[in-house]
Structure 1
Amino acid sequence: MGDASPSTGKVITTALIVTGNMVGAGILALPINLGPSGFLPAVLGAVAVWAIMTCTGIIIARQPFLAQNSDADLPTFFEEVLGPAGKWFSVAANLIILYGLLTAYLAGVASVAASSVPIHLPDWAWLLLYFCAATLLASFGSVVMRKGNAVLMTVMWLLFGALLVLVAPHFRGMDLRAGDVRFFTSGLPILVTAFNFHNVVPTICRTLNNDRRAVTRAIWLGSGIGAAMTLLWTVAVMFTLPMEAPDGVSIIAAFKAGVPATVPLVQLIRSPVFIKASIGFAVVAMTTSYMATGVALVSFLKDVAGKRVRSGAVIWLMAFIPPIGIGLLYPNIFLEALNIVGGFGVGTLFGILPGVLLIRQGEAGSRTRRMGWLLVSAFACVLLVELAQETGMLAINPDVEYWSGHVYQ
């Protein structure tokens, strides 16, 4: 740990890395993937998951190993604290998270551009164009990311504010008591994904000289800003788009098509200003996350394969070629990728494993150990839900008949 505590300004700029990592594909997907559960289940569930995810991030950040080994990333960390099985368990989960997120960002921007930009290009062309621009930014490293991220976050906040102002006149009446808690269960994996920032925790610790108080402040501040934006956006979309509509411009129709929330909003609000703002917000929001995730993936691959692969160019190709390949093969993979990331990756690596840490580090019967078992149980449920949905054992779809009876006024 350094002699001097990090300045408030450095804490804030570092916190924006957390926010930038959170506010990406998740904020665009959540209103669509969680909306059919109803207002109260969506909002209350989101707040609960945000608090839990922030706590698991702090659990990882406070592990002494990260402070004592400044060059280590998560695989080495989990190997040290949980043994070889912990390392390879984390490697597999991290590959799902990082590659899945990058793929989702590429597919999400491509679908937004293809449906909103008047230039008629196929999805694969938009995907390639965005890949070149976003990957160039991500290739500069964490120092440039920290400085450039503040600029992107400022632009994103301005666009976010503009979107809220533009959708407000289109708010409709809504039955706040209506809800489908059963459907909320199916949204757990993507809800976990929306509040994931944990891959940048080692970077945050190094940036703030492993100052525990500064790191904790940065994580709570950054995740709090991201959660506030996510909730505001989710509520705004739910008050603007009908859950079900004859013309197909609805939350349920967007869920079935697997597209971000901005796509049906553009179909409903045909203002040129709104179209430009929605495209800008989607691109900037996903770019901030793409940058943070790309930097984290390069660091992760260096940590795992650094002894075998010493070429920076090869590491770069290993990081960025698979996502563009998957995106080109499966252009409509946006929501599906986020569900897989949350169910099999984030919930396992940043939910179950932190719980295991608390169980191993706590005394028998202690509060720490009980909290560990609670985390393991909760995130095991997320894993089982996604596994059941992917294997066809559990099919939870929006209740169209139920929501057709709750018409907007």
Structure 2
Amino acid sequence: MAVSSACFQVPTLLLIPSSRKQLLQTHRYKCSSRRANLLHKCFSQRQSESKPTQKENEEFEFERLFSNLNQATLKREPGSLSSAIFLVAGTTVGAGILAIPAVTQESGFLASAVACIVCWVFMVVTGLLIAEVNVNTMCELGSGGVSLVSMAQRTLGTVGVQIACWSYIFIHYALLVAYVARSSDILTNFLGIPLWESATLFSLIFGCICYFGSQRFIGAVNGVLLLGIIVSFAALVAVASGGLHWDALLKANFEAVPMSIPIIALSFVYQNVVPVLCTNLEGNLAEVRTAIVLGTAIPLVLFLVWNGVILGSITDLEMGSGKILDPLQQLQSSNGVVGPIIQVFSLLAIATSYIGFILGLADFLADLLKLPTGQSRPLPYLLTLIPPLVLSLLDPEIFFKALDFAGTYGVLVLFGILPAAMSWSGRYSNPTSSVKLPQLVPGGRLTLSLIIGGAGFVVFSEILESFGHP
């Protein structure tokens, strides 16, 4: 395809404006009528877009930043909005939802519901900030598949890269260990096979799906798993709600809310797939925003109903001394019908989140190792799958410990403080940058300060508590 690079380059980015100017959700490109005709031949545009005329240097609008190409066929393979929503929702509904009732039982349903909504708003905002910085970085570097490393390097320099790298690796490995540990326990109970076989089977199946599957196939798998989650969740609610004590839902102990925030925030983690999302949706900010808001709204509803059913069904919960008791185990022991449904729901929830974290970490490691974009390399996937598998087998009881530690010191730093700091730098510390996309989060410095201050306060409080200070 011999087309002048003044308009675009092949194969990674196809629409890189020479002037590097972006306008709202569309991008304008000045070029001759010959180049405009080539653009219209190469890209399938919306019906509302006008056809090029013979005027020189006429402006044309494109809603996407670039096009995803199949390097073998050179055909455009765009990601769909529905697949993006499923990816976000599937990544969000993970092992964190299984731990929510255990950490909110002391605060009660009403107080924990407020905490869930606040954490959801917080995580939506930080996800939009990551998307904003990611698309700006793609414009600046002229390449797709940009991970947090490149984003931090562009906005925060070497120090930011170190913080991003270690936080990202830490939280992903911690959560993948928790996912493999819990899923292997469930599969061992179902299949009656040794723990190491069930852990290997789980990692192998979903690792192969992520490595060999196309964007559409992975989106379809996430959609099927999410449908299974909804069906099993509805069955669980129908069975367990028969013994629901409505008075128990009125309990509200706001003093106990802070201890639950790390795991609640962890339950809303999806930001690791935002760079993948921006690439799949070809930098279309409107679709990225929709995918993030709708993709996280579905899990929010599930979390609230799930927490209400569990806390409303078990009224004699007692907190052990320094140990988190799991209400799910008590509910399973008291109701033989609920047990298998909870196991199925748990396995599906872990599987959807596991896929998202594999994709996010493999993409991150590929960028860290400077591997070519747009090609499937086995090394990032091996580095993603093997260490969590080994660590989960060394300590099968690591589930709650991994979640709490990752939520406190990983999520709130990596997906709380860091996105706001990168956005601050991109917006205000480098005003002469040639790339200025629309801001996805309003409020300016005040919003960014609240995000950094809120996340920092929770982390600092947890550090003090861990050293024995109230």
TM-score (norm 1): 0.85
Q: CA deviation at 1:103?
A: 0.8
Could you report, residue by residue, the CA deviation over 1:228-269 in whole angstroms, capped at 9, with x for unpaired residues? 111111111111122526xxxxxx46993565x543322121
Larger Cα-atom Rg: 2
User: Which residue does the alignment assign to 2:355?
Assistant: 291
User: Which residue does the alignment assign to 2:460?
Assistant: 384
Superposed counterparts of 1:137-216, under 5 Å: 137-141=209-213, 143=215, 144-216=217-289
Could you report, residue by residue, the CA deviation over 1:92-119 in whole angstroms, capped at 9, with x for unpaired residues? 11011211111111122234455x54x6
CA distance in 1, matches of 2:377, 2:218: 18
State the one-letter code of the partner of 1:336: K
Structure 2 residue 126 is the aligned partner of structure 1 residue 56 = yes
Q: CA deviation at 1:9?
A: 9.5
Task: Pick which of 67-76 and 127-136 moved more.
Answer: 127-136
**In 2 relative to 1, CA 362–65 (structure 1 residues): closer, same or farther, beyond 3 Å?**
closer
State the one-letter code of the partner of 1:133: I
Q: CA deviation at 1:200?
A: 0.4
Could you report, residue by residue, the CA deviation over 1:162-201 in whole angstroms, capped at 9, with x for unpaired residues? 1111111121243445333332211111111111100100
Could you report, residue by residue, the CA deviation over 1:196-231 in whole angstroms, capped at 9, with x for unpaired residues? 100100111111111111110111010111111111
User: Which residue does the alignment assign to 2:342?
Assistant: 278
**In 2 relative to 1, CA 105–379 (structure 1 residues): closer, same or farther, beyond 3 Å?**
same
Could you report, residue by residue, the CA deviation over 1:292-323 in whole angstroms, capped at 9, with x for unpaired residues? 11111111100112359x99333222111111
CA distance in 1, matches of 2:322, 2:206: 26
Superposed counterparts of 1:69-108, under 5 Å: 69-108=143-182
Q: CA deviation at 1:75?
A: 1.0
What SS is found at the alignment partner of 1:187?
A: helix
Structure 2 residue 413 is the aligned partner of structure 1 residue 341 = no
User: Which residue does the alignment assign to 1:403?
Assistant: none
Q: CA deviation at 1:59?
A: 1.2
Instruction: Pick one of 89, 95, 101 that aligns with 1:31.
Output: 101
Q: CA deviation at 1:385?
A: 3.2
CA distance in 2, matches of 1:201, 1:9: 13
What SS is found at the alignment partner of 1:331?
A: coil
What SS is found at the alignment partner of 2:212?
A: coil
**In 2 relative to 1, CA 311–156 (structure 1 residues): closer, same or farther, beyond 3 Å?**
closer
**In 2 relative to 1, CA 215–383 (structure 1 residues): closer, same or farther, beyond 3 Å?**
same
What SS is found at the alignment partner of 1:244?
A: coil
Instruction: Pick one of 323, 329, 332 that aligns with 1:256.
Output: 323
State the one-letter code of the partner of 1:230: F
State the one-letter code of the partner of 1:393: G
What SS is found at the alignment partner of 1:270?
A: coil
Structure 1 unaligned residues grouped into runs of 5+? 246-251, 396-409
What SS is found at the alignment partner of 2:106?
A: helix
**In 2 relative to 1, CA 138–33 (structure 1 residues): closer, same or farther, beyond 3 Å?**
farther
Could you report, residue by residue, the CA deviation over 1:104-145 in whole angstroms, capped at 9, with x for unpaired residues? 11122234455x54x655544543343333333333356132
Are the counterparts in 2 of residues 357 and 372 from structure 1 also a CA contact under 8 Å? no
State the one-letter code of the partner of 2:377: G
User: Which residue does the alignment assign to 1:375?
Assistant: 451
What SS is found at the alignment partner of 1:332?
A: coil
CA distance in 2, matches of 1:305, 1:338: 27
CA distance in 1, matches of 2:236, 2:266: 23
CA distance in 2, matches of 1:330, 1:367: 45
CA distance in 1, matches of 2:451, 2:121: 12
User: Which residue does the alignment assign to 2:52?
Assistant: none
Structure 2 unaligned residues grouped into runs of 5+? 1-14, 16-42, 47-62, 65-76, 430-441
Are the counterparts in 2 of residues 141 and 295 from structure 1 also a CA contact under 8 Å? no
Instruction: Pick one of 252, 263, 267 that aligns with 2:333.
Output: 267
State the one-letter code of the partner of 2:367: D
**In 2 relative to 1, CA 224–255 (structure 1 residues): closer, same or farther, beyond 3 Å?**
farther
CA distance in 2, matches of 1:344, 1:300: 19
CA distance in 2, matches of 1:300, 1:267: 41
**In 2 relative to 1, CA 156–254 (structure 1 residues): closer, same or farther, beyond 3 Å?**
farther
Q: Percent identity?
A: 26
CA distance in 2, matches of 1:353, 1:15: 24
Task: Pick which of 21-30 and 299-308 moved more.
Answer: 299-308
Task: Pick which of 39-48 and 275-284 moved more.
Answer: 275-284
CA distance in 2, matches of 1:159, 1:177: 26
What SS is found at the alignment partner of 1:15?
A: helix
Could you report, residue by residue, the CA deviation over 1:312-345 in whole angstroms, capped at 9, with x for unpaired residues? 3332221111111211111111111111211111
What SS is found at the alignment partner of 1:256?
A: coil
Which gives a bigger RCO, structure 1 or 2 (Cα 8 Å, sep 6+)? Answer: 1
Task: Pick which of 355-364 and 344-353 moved more.
Answer: 355-364
**In 2 relative to 1, CA 89–256 (structure 1 residues): closer, same or farther, beyond 3 Å?**
same
What SS is found at the alignment partner of 1:62?
A: helix
What SS is found at the alignment partner of 1:98?
A: helix
